């Protein structure tokens, strides 16, 4: 039973590695900005999952702490990046729900 679980863990980790490489391809090729943001977010998720699996493969589940930290970091970094591209500044509170039309328009025109 333990043997089977180890095989399953290793196989899943390899499939995660393949997925990471595929996302890396999208990140390198991605024509628009939002492709890249999405690719980074998905890559972070894959890294978190891989870390969990890896720490179980080597028999020390301490890595789950780091995986949790990664998940938080991934979330915060994605929000920061998206905020930058909407407001061009960091001191805009997230609770401000209405959309500044001028900012959005300038974003749309400056999309690289």
What's the token pair of residue 15? 């499939």
Contact 14, 41 (CB under 8 A): no
- 1 sits near another protein (criterion: CB under 8 A): no
- 90 sits near another protein (criterion: CB under 8 A): yes
Q: Which residues of 65-92 are buried (b: 16+ CB within 10 A; e: fewer)?
A: eebeebbeebeeeeeeeebebeeeeeee
Look at residue 111 and give its three-state secondary structure: coil
Minimum distance between the CB of residue 100 and another protein, rounded to whole angstroms?
5
In this structure, the number of other CB atoms found within 10 A of the CB of residue 94 comes to 7
- 51 sits near another protein (criterion: CB under 8 A): yes
Q: Can you give the binding site for another protein, defined by CB under 8 A? A: 3, 6-7, 10, 13-14, 17, 20-21, 24, 27-28, 30, 33, 36-37, 39-40, 43-44, 47, 50-51, 54-55, 57-58, 62-63, 65-66, 69-70, 73-74, 76-77, 80-81, 84, 87-93, 96, 100, 102-103, 105-106, 109-110, 112
């Amino acid at each position: 039973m333990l043997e089977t679980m180890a095989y399953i863990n290793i196989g899943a980790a390899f499939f995660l590695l393949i997925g990471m490489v595929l996302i890396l391809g999208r990140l390198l090729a991605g024509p628009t900005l939002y492709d890249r943001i999405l690719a980074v977010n998905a890559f972070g998720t894959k890294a978190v999952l891989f870390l969990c699996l890896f720490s179980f493969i080597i028999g020390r589940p301490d890595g789950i702490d780091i995986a949790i930290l990664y998940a938080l970091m991934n979330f915060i970094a994605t929000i920061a990046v998206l905020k930058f591209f909407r407001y061009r500044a960091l001191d805009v509170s997230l609770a401000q729900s209405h959309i500044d039309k001028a900012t959005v328009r300038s974003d749309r025109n400056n999309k690289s």
